[in-house]
Amino acid sequence: MDRLFEIICVLIEKIEDLVGQIARSQNGRVNSVISPTGIGDGSPQRLAARNDRRVGMIIHNNSAAILYIALASDRVDESYYSFAIQPQEHLLLDQESIKETYKEAIMGVWAEGAPATSVAMVTELFKEEA
């Protein structure tokens, strides 16, 4: 439980920093939503839908197995992925790290043998509508 609390604190700090950077660069208000996505039946999961207002995303792999992420709306597996997030690690997708924020859907799937308790904590940052 202490490790989970530590992870949440680190993620909150990163979110606050990212929101501040984005708000300054976008001249507007930025909101966030945190969505947990479980492993389900072990098949690929949609971690985020298309969002034209997305300005950043943090995905935390709360699992003992690798989480494969695809910047794709219909496919991800252990041989077709964009990023591999190690257990208890996170991936930051922002304009600095990938030059342009990806707006399409994002898929994820855990490596074979992942525990049934595996969860991806997805934090999406987006501009408010005017």
2-127 has which CATH code?
2.60.120.770
User: In the chain, how many H helices and how many E strands?
Assistant: 2, 8
In this structure, are residues 68 and 109 in contact, taking their beta carbons and an 8 Å threshold?
yes
The confidence score (pLDDT) of residue 42 equals 84
Domain boundaries, the chain: 2-127
Question: Residues 23, 82, 39, 1: what is their CA dihedral angle, to the nearest 10 degrees?
Answer: -60
- pLDDT tens for the chain, 130 residues long, are 566 667 766 777 777 676 666 555 556 677 778 888 998 888 999 999 998 888 888 999 999 999 999 988 888 999 999 999 999 999 988 766 655 667 889 999 999 999 999 999 999 888 877 6
The confidence score (pLDDT) of residue 73 equals 83
In this structure, are residues 108 and 43 in contact, taking their beta carbons and an 8 Å threshold?
no
Q: Is the pTM of this model over 0.85?
A: no
The confidence score (pLDDT) of residue 93 equals 84
